[in-house]
Structure 1
Amino acid sequence: MLERGPGPSPAAERQEWQQALVTLGCQLAAVGPRQHEDWLVDAAAVLQFRTRDPRGWLLDAHTRWPERTRHSPYYPFDRLEPHHLDQHLELLTHETAVELTALHWAATPYGGFEPPGASDPERRRRLESGARTLLARFGPDAEYATNAEDLSGGTEAHWYRDGFSLSCFAGVDAQRDGLISDFGILAVSDTEVGAFWNFLID
């Protein structure tokens, strides 16, 4: 009989990953298979909610929005096509992706952005640990992208004030409902594409 090697069991790994979503306060998460060399094609499918999590880790609640109807099937997004994503995404290093993913906690309704755990080092540690857990699923060679712009200065102190802007993906219906801004991360491996998004409400 084969013995399991060191490391968490699949069930424990799944539970840890799901807890990371909760810790980060991620309002919308979706994962789908990567099936094309150009991963923007698969990212568009994920953001259009045309895929399912290949591992079955993602709870339906993370992709189910009551406002999604046949008139607005991709709510809270418009129908995002690969060419649109190509023009409005910025590639990230792994460490910057961790920093931005940890920032998700601040992108809560009616809130603004500030460094994760700025006044609470322990909370910062938890958020960064959650971000690393979330992104570890996509492996050491993953690629990352975001709709945040002007990140050439990195994520040093006050980067979010000095040069942080967003190319928002929220659709017309969502904007009409008060979702005035959105902020997300794409994580891409050889086999999977994940989208993790939050929204600010007017």
Structure 2
Amino acid sequence: MAGAGAWAAAVGELFGGGWTFAAVGPRTDEDWRRDASAVMRLRTRDPRGWTMLNFAPEYSAGGSGRSTEPFLPWSPDELGGALFEIKPESAAQLLVALKGQWFQAANIPNFAHREEVLFRAARELLARFGPEPACWTNRTAARGRPDADLLNAEAEFECLTGYTTDCGVVVASESEIGVFWAFFED
């Protein structure tokens, strides 16, 4: 991992310019789901002070207003049931795919020319969490398939927000947990 500058560049490459969320918090509980929930609800700060983004679209239960917390208040048990464990390579694929419409790489403009740069950014993000990070997603194509190809997977999700559709990756090491998400709102 090259440091804060490389991290900021990778976050910007993958999550800049869209309805996205990228944040990291400390691991303070043995249960990763509690730590993920704290990051999703903006109850933590990046332990290294590195870049985070919260570009979630505006919404409220009544259809207008701004939500500063894009995720619903999931309990750890509920959160664990909505996320499926994946291997780091599947997580890298999904980090790239989140940039495309309906969270598919095939929908990323000029993907063939950008693929190498996007995958380099995805691997930079994952490197922060060590050589074998634990990863989870809400993309149902990964249910029971930790090595699923998520670059252009079927478009079904266990949504964790109040938006029409959302998709993302939770990545954890022994000391940190990251939440990387994209949203779609009609």
| TM-score, L = length of structure 2 | 0.82
Does residue 22 in structure 1 map to residue 15 in structure 2? no
Residues 131 and 156 of structure 1, relative CA distance in 2, 3 Å threshold: closer
User: Aligned letter for 1:135?
Assistant: L
What is the root-mean-square deviation in Å for CA atoms of aligned residues?
2.8
With 71-80 and 139-148 compared, the bigger mean Cα shift is at: 71-80
Does residue 192 in structure 1 map to residue 183 in structure 2? no
Q: Distance in 2 between matches of 1:112 and 1:20?
A: 21
Q: What is the CA-CA distance between 1:119 and the residue it aligns to?
A: 5.7
Q: What is the CA-CA distance between 1:150 and the residue it aligns to?
A: 2.5
Indicate the percent of aligned positions where both proteins have the same amino acid.
34
Partner-residue secondary structure (3-state), 1:49? coil
- After superposition, where does 1:21-60 map in structure 2 within 5 Å? 21-25=11-15, 27-59=20-52
Q: What is the CA-CA distance between 1:38 and the residue it aligns to?
A: 1.3
CA offsets per residue over residues 36-56 of structure 1, 9 Å max, x none? 111111111111110000000
1:180 alignment counterpart: 164
1:91 alignment counterpart: 85
Count of residues in Structure 1 that have an aligned counterpart in Structure 2: 175
Q: Distance in 2 between matches of 1:160 and 1:64?
A: 24
Q: Distance in 2 between matches of 1:31 and 1:128?
A: 20
Residues 197 and 156 of structure 1, relative CA distance in 2, 3 Å threshold: closer
- After superposition, where does 1:63-142 map in structure 2 within 5 Å? 63=54, 75-106=69-100, 111-115=101-105, 120-142=111-133
User: Aligned letter for 2:124?
Assistant: T
Q: What is the CA-CA distance between 1:160 and the residue it aligns to?
A: 1.6
Query: Which of 149, 155, 161 is the matching residue for 1:155?
Result: 149
Q: What is the CA-CA distance between 1:29 and the residue it aligns to?
A: 1.2
Residues 64 and 102 of structure 1, relative CA distance in 2, 3 Å threshold: closer
CA offsets per residue over residues 40-90 of structure 1, 9 Å max, x none? 11111111110000000024xx13769699x98763221122011111000
Q: Distance in 1 between matches of 2:57 and 2:86?
A: 32
Residues 150 and 35 of structure 1, relative CA distance in 2, 3 Å threshold: same
| TM-score, L = length of structure 1 | 0.76
- Which ranges of structure 1 fall in alignment gaps of 5 or more residues? 1-6, 172-178
Q: What is the CA-CA distance between 1:120 and the residue it aligns to?
A: 3.8
Q: What is the CA-CA distance between 1:30 and the residue it aligns to?
A: 1.4
Q: Distance in 1 between matches of 2:176 and 2:26?
A: 4
Residues 150 and 67 of structure 1, relative CA distance in 2, 3 Å threshold: closer
Residues 188 and 72 of structure 1, relative CA distance in 2, 3 Å threshold: same
With 28-37 and 144-153 compared, the bigger mean Cα shift is at: 144-153
Q: What is the CA-CA distance between 1:113 and the residue it aligns to?
A: 3.7
Whether the aligned pair in 2 keeps the contact of 1:33 and 1:54 (CA below 8 Å) is: yes
1:169 alignment counterpart: 160
Partner-residue secondary structure (3-state), 1:134? helix
Q: Considering only CA atoms, is the larger Rg found in Structure 1 or Structure 2? A: 1
